[in-house]
Amino acid sequence: MPVPIPGNPLGYTLVYAIESPRGPVLIDAGWNHPDAWEALSDGFAALGIDVADVYGVVVTHFHPDHAGLAGQVREVSGAWIAMHEADAAIVTLMRGLADDEHRDFQAEMLRRAGAEGLDVSVAVAERPVPPAQPDRTLRDGDIVDVPGRGLRAIHTPGHTPGHLCLRLEDRLFTGDHVLPDITPHVGIYPYDRTDVDPLGDFLKSLEKVAEQGPLTALPAHEWIFPDVGARALQIRHHHEERLHTLATLLTSSGEPLTIWEIAAMMTWNRAWDDLSPMLRGLAAGEAAAHLRTLEARGEIRRVSGVDPVRFQALDS
Ligand SMILES: [Zn+2]
């Protein structure tokens, strides 16, 4: 069921329903908006499903275009909501954070990245309502409670720390992890963290999916496509090329550069100056994730004791 994401170029989230003797179980639920709820309700009607009969909602990751409507489905049906424990922890954190704390966190993160002259109030997107707290958490390899179907959770961190793909026989629900044409956003927040490596995780998760073989992919955006493994390796190749280009850029610069300076030198789908402040913030997150992976691999270094943080090639 395509569920619209109002005002977002992605267009829609694909919500799937799996039949079971206890009632249908949804994979994702869509954005929390009246138009989205109407589309979801129409989708149910077309399938002959009564929303009140929904038995559970498995959320691939905590982002609002996936988890947003899960709470409303639960209210109507009493369904359980399940997500990976790492994303459930983020939901707890989000629900406990006041709007001004959220804004201060973002402002400080942008400052430490060297984002001078950026209007933080514009760069900080309006915060969506935090998703509903799940009733159940999942881990890698868990069989999800869809009676008689053997739906298995596969932990694929990268796009979020707790992203899940779900395997049903020869099909794989891929959430945002593997999409047929675009690649998901992989960022690091705050930008200067050194305790995680989301892009490194993402590349490993792509291999993990490729090992599942040529399954049919049922993604959360765009369209259903064959051979998820081939597409996963293609996306991995794309990031390896980007890592290589970035390492070369730092070598040729010689100078230590801020995350912001580096992001502005990288190639995006639009010129840097044409990106909105919010998109520049996301681009910096993506640049930072690539820098962190190169650092973790020992290919570049972080200059110690400078604020804003700077990176340079090993030999400069
Ligand atoms: Zn999404």
Residue-wise pLDDT tens digits, 130-167: 999 999 999 999 999 999 999 999 999 999 999 999 99
Residue 295 lies in a domain: no
Task: For residue 303, list its beta bridge partners.
Answer: 310
Ligand 1 centroid–CA 109 distance in Å is 23
State the pLDDT at residue 68: 96
Kindly report, residue by residue over 162-194, the tens digit of the pLDDT.
999 999 999 999 999 999 999 999 999 999 999
| Ligand 1 centroid – CA 9 distance (Å) | 11
Domain of 53?
A: 2-249
Residue 77 forms part of a structural domain:
yes
Looking at this protein, which amino acid is placed at residue 43? G
Give the distance (Å) from ligand 1 centre to CA of residue 28.
Answer: 10
Query: With 0-12 CB in 10 A as exposed, 13-18 as middle and 19+ as buried, what is 285?
Result: buried
Q: Label residue 256 by pLDDT band (50, 70, 90).
A: very high
Q: How far is the CA of 87 from the centre of ligand 1 (A)?
A: 14
Residue 6 located in a structural domain: yes
For residue 316, pLDDT beyond 70 = no
Confidence of residue 111 (pLDDT cuts 50, 70, 90): confident
Residue 179 forms part of a structural domain: yes
**Is 49 part of any domain?**
yes
Distance between Cα 29 and ligand 1 center (Å)? 11
Question: What local confidence, expressed as pLDDT, does residue 258 receive?
Answer: 95
**263 lies in some domain:** no
Instruction: Answer whether residue 107 is part of any domain.
Output: yes
CATH code at 123? 3.60.15.10
- pLDDT band (50, 70, 90) for residue 127: confident
Residue 125 has pLDDT above 90, yes or no: no
The pLDDT of residue 116 is: 73
Asked if the bond preceding 130 is cis, omega within 30° of 0, the reply is no
H/E run at residue 311:
strand 310-313
What CA–CA distance (Å, rounded) separates 217 from 34? 29
Which pLDDT value is given to residue 226? 97
Distance 7 CA to ligand 1 centre (A): 14
User: Separation of 168 CA from ligand 1 center, angstroms?
Assistant: 20
Number of separate domains in the chain = 1
Residue 103: pLDDT band by 50, 70, 90 thresholds?
confident
Q: Which pLDDT does position 128 carry in this prediction?
A: 77
CA 181 to ligand 1 center in whole angstroms: 13
Q: What is the mean pLDDT of the chain?
A: 94
- DSSP states of 155-199: E--SSSTT-EEEEETTEEEEETTS-SSS------SSTT--S--HH
Residue 254 within a domain: no
